Amino acid sequence: MQSLNREQSLWVAWGLLCVGSSVLFAAYGKHGLANSELQMRWGTAVDYFRFMGLGLVLMVAVRVLSHGMSGRMWAERMLVVGTLLFSVTIGAESISPESVLLNRIGWAAPFGGILMTLSWFTFVFEFILNQKPSPA
């Protein structure tokens, strides 16, 4: 099996950390937030945090198994930034829905969602471009 380079190892570790910490975040939302609407918003943030962490690990695995995908890991970088912008903003709004600061940075969650989407499209595009025809 091919070993991971330093950046790939970092993204796998980050993805696994997202998955593991999402268990604690979910427990906090269930037991620490009394309002069911806020729990639902918090749960959305936690779900995206968890699944994008898994997605990050999957991106690295596909990159390693697809030998032609050895370039800069822009899709992974965009996924991490987008996930943080989206999940942290939605999570913070769940904890403090009346925050003036959060009202001012309300753009962060949609921008994070756009970055997450673009990261997946970038990854698919890179994957398709780097496919080599199999020898007949």
| Residue 97 is assigned to a structural domain of this protein | yes
Q: Token pair for residue 136?
A: 């007949």
The answer to whether residues 40 and 46 touch, using CB atoms and an 8 Å cutoff, is no
pLDDT at 133 over 80: no
pTM above 0.85, yes or no: yes
Convert 16-40 to b/e letters by CB count within 10 Å (16 or more is b).
eebbeebeebbeebeeebeeeebbe
Give pLDDT, residue 68: 67
| Residue 1 is assigned to a structural domain of this protein | no
| Residue 134 is assigned to a structural domain of this protein | no
Rg of the chain, C-alpha, whole Å: 17
| Residue 132 is assigned to a structural domain of this protein | no
What's the domain range around 71? Answer: 6-127
Number of domains in the chain: 1
Distance (Å, whole) CA 2 – CA 65: 8
Distance (Å, whole) CA 21 – CA 103: 26
Give pLDDT, residue 95: 87
Q: pLDDT tens digit string along 67-86?
A: 767 778 999 999 999 999 99
